[in-house]
């Protein structure tokens, strides 16, 4: 640890530490550097290091939560529920050559019977782990697409699939641009969306969130420059990519907090993007079909370096976050008002991931003892059950 302490002092002297969440996060990065981990990107990207999670429910109603296993050298693992919980080492099953890069996001989805997981591995490239119904396979899609940029440190990645089998994976490049890795059914293609949309540069450590709806393809990011820490939308309308500053579109005076997660979904009422504002509360950008609105939601002060997750179901709209005192909270829209609920489970400064399935609502997080938990809303008993799945 003497080497770590020396590095911490050095980083503080050169000003690098201002991009880190905490001494704990700084230590995690330095330990990785000293251990020879593959770290790429510019210095401005070293500002956060959180535990990343991704989750989904597949067509057979099996529930999946994906994470980098601290107990297994950051190999990619999943807990999967098919009547009971089991753990799988996906890196081993797919023959992945290296560990997950600790600082960058994980994203996943299910499309028909196939399952897709995207992450950044130690080579700095975006990889796809694909389940075709019989076996897992690892693909270096950055190489397959001929990409000349790679995900910047501390950023998020996002993805979705289409019914026609096309796949979209978005990442914040070390060239300060938003990129798309696009599977057109035959080939992987890398596109610089910022260049195509003539947009500005991204903020250091930006998260990304995305979805597909009847209006087109949408990816959201935090901008730098003239629109410093404004939420932007890159939208594909079927012909062109365009960039829109949503703070300006909604006449908002707020800014996104550096290090905030972004989360989004689309429902019958419109498009929803959630983020932590510089006032340390959760805010929503909402498109009602005609205009953008920005709203400050009720609740507690948010842990701005921790995750945000959101989804909608038949009961309403749900946003999950970690408060400044490390409790999991739910912001819930019942059709007329927003309410905040403390779910009374303590979490680490880390990701939150969740979804709704036919049997209820599921939220995943990591506690201070490095255990992965599921919070499950049991609609029969009308209570939240906290279940420990195991060590992360």
Q: Please provide residue 28's backbone torsions phi and psi, each rounded to the nearest 5 degrees.
A: -60, -40
Same-domain pairing of 18 and 143: no
Same-domain pairing of 82 and 8: no
Cα separation values, 9 from 27, 47, 79, 362, Å = 11, 16, 39, 41
Residue 226 located in a structural domain: yes
Same-domain pairing of 29 and 174: no
182-241 pLDDT tens trace: 999 999 999 999 999 999 889 988 999 999 998 899 999 999 865 689 999 999 988 999
pTM of the model: 0.87
**What pLDDT is stored for residue 21 in this prediction?**
39
Same-domain pairing of 106 and 223: yes
Q: Which residue has the tokens 């498109």?
A: 287
Distance CA 29, CA 39 (A): 9
Confidence of residue 376 (pLDDT cuts 50, 70, 90): very high
Same-domain pairing of 72 and 20: no
Give mean pLDDT, residues 334-358. 90
SS3 152: coil
**What pLDDT is stored for residue 226 in this prediction?**
58
Query: At a CB cut-off of 8 Å and minimum separation 6, what does 251 contact?
Result: 294
Cite the beta strand spans of 90-215 per DSSP E: 106-111, 114-120, 126-131, 136-140, 157-161, 167-172, 178-183, 188-192, 209-213
Query: At a CB cut-off of 8 Å and minimum separation 6, what does 271 contact?
Result: 211, 213, 215, 218, 264, 286, 287
**What pLDDT is stored for residue 378 in this prediction?**
82
Distance CA 212, CA 160 (A): 7
Residue 44 located in a structural domain: no
CATH number at residue 196: 2.120.10.70
**What pLDDT is stored for residue 227 in this prediction?**
60
∠ CA(203), CA(204), CA(207), 5° rounding? 75
List the domain range (segments joined by +) for residue 18. 1-36
Q: Is the pLDDT of residue 142 over 60?
A: yes
Burial of 31 (0-12, 13-18, 19+ CB in 10 A): middle
Same-domain pairing of 26 and 125: no
276-318 pLDDT tens trace: 999 999 999 999 999 999 999 999 999 877 789 999 998 899 9
Give mean pLDDT, residues 163-179. 95
Q: Please provide residue 296's backbone torsions phi and psi, each rounded to the nearest 5 degrees.
A: -90, 125
Same-domain pairing of 143 and 66: yes
Query: At a CB cut-off of 8 Å and minimum separation 6, what does 36 contact?
Result: none
**What pLDDT is stored for residue 40 in this prediction?**
33
Give mean pLDDT, residues 171-186. 96
Largest Cα–Cα distance of the chain, in whole Å?
A: 58
Distance CA 218, CA 235 (A): 5
**What pLDDT is stored for residue 63 in this prediction?**
95
Same-domain pairing of 72 and 162: yes
Distance CA 236, CA 1 (A): 49
Look at 159 and 25; give whichever has higher pLDDT.
159
Q: Is the pLDDT of residue 4 over 60?
A: no
Same-domain pairing of 31 and 128: no
* Dihedral class, residue 205 (left if φ above 0, else alpha if ψ from -120 to 50, else beta): left
Per the structure block, which two tokens stand in for 226? 């003239």
Contacts for 272-275: CB closer than 8 Å, 24+ residues apart: 272/310, 272/312, 272/317, 273/209, 273/220, 273/231, 273/246, 274/308, 274/310, 274/319, 275/222, 275/231, 275/308
Look at 1 and 83; give whichever has higher pLDDT.
83
184-200 pLDDT tens trace: 999 999 999 999 999 98
Residue 46 located in a structural domain: no
Confidence of residue 135 (pLDDT cuts 50, 70, 90): very high
Give mean pLDDT, residues 155-159. 94
Same-domain pairing of 268 and 323: yes
Question: Residue 241: enclosing H or E segment and its boundaries?
Answer: strand 241-245
Cα dihedral 382→388→318→111 (10° resolution): -110
28-57 pLDDT tens trace: 444 344 333 333 333 343 344 467 899 999
What total of structural domains would you count in the chain? 2
Distance CA 90, CA 87 (A): 9
**What pLDDT is stored for residue 389 in this prediction?**
96
Residue 42 located in a structural domain: no
Question: Residue 77: enclosing H or E segment and its boundaries?
Answer: strand 75-81
Mean predicted lDDT score pLDDT of the chain: 86
Same-domain pairing of 125 and 255: yes
Q: Which residue has the tokens 């709704």?
A: 356
Residue 41 located in a structural domain: no
């Amino acid at each position: 640890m003497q080497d770590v302490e020396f590095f911490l002092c050095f980083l503080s002297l050169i000003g690098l530490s201002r991009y880190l969440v905490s001494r704990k996060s700084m230590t995690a990065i330095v330990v990785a550097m000293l251990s020879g981990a593959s770290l790429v990107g510019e210095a401005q990207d070293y500002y956060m290091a959180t535990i990343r999670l991704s989750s989904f429910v597949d067509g057979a109603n099996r529930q999946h939560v994906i994470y980098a296993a601290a107990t297994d050298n950051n190999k990619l693992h999943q807990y999967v529920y098919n009547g009971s919980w089991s753990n799988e080492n996906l890196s081993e099953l797919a023959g992945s050559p290296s560990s997950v890069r600790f600082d960058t996001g994980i994203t996943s989805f299910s499309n028909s019977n196939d399952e897709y997981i995207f992450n950044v591995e130690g080579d700095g490239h975006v990889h796809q782990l694909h389940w075709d119904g019989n076996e897992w396979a690892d693909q270096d899609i950055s190489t397959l697409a001929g990409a000349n940029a790679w995900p910047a440190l501390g950023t998020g990645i996002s993805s979705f699939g289409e019914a026609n089998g096309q796949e979209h994976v978005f990442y914040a490049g070390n060239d300060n641009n938003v990129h798309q890795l696009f599977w057109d059914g035959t080939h992987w293609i890398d596109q610089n969306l910022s260049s195509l949309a003539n947009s500005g540069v991204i903020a250091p450590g930006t998260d990304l969130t995305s979805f597909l709806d009847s209006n087109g393809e949408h990816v959201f990011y935090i901008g730098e420059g003239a629109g410093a820490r404004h939420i932007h939308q890159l939208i594909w309308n079927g012909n062109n990519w365009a960039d829109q500053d949503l703070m300006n579109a909604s006449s908002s005076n707020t800014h996104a907090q550096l290090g905030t997660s972004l989360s989004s979904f689309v429902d019958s009422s419109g498009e929803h993007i959630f983020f932590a504002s510089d006032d340390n509360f959760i805010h929503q950008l909402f498109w009602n079909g005609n205009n953008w609105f920005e709203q400050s939601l009720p609740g507690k002060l948010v842990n701005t370096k921790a995750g945000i997750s959101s989804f909608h179901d038949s009961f309403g709209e749900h946003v999950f976050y970690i408060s400044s005192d490390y409790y999991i909270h739910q912001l819930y829209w019942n059709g007329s008002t927003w309410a905040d609920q403390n779910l009374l489970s303590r979490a680490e400064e880390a990701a939150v991931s969740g979804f709704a399935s036919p049997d209820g609502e599921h939220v995943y997080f990591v506690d201070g003892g490095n255990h992965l938990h599921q919070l499950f809303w049991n609609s029969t008993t009308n209570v939240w059950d906290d279940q420990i799945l195991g060590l992360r």
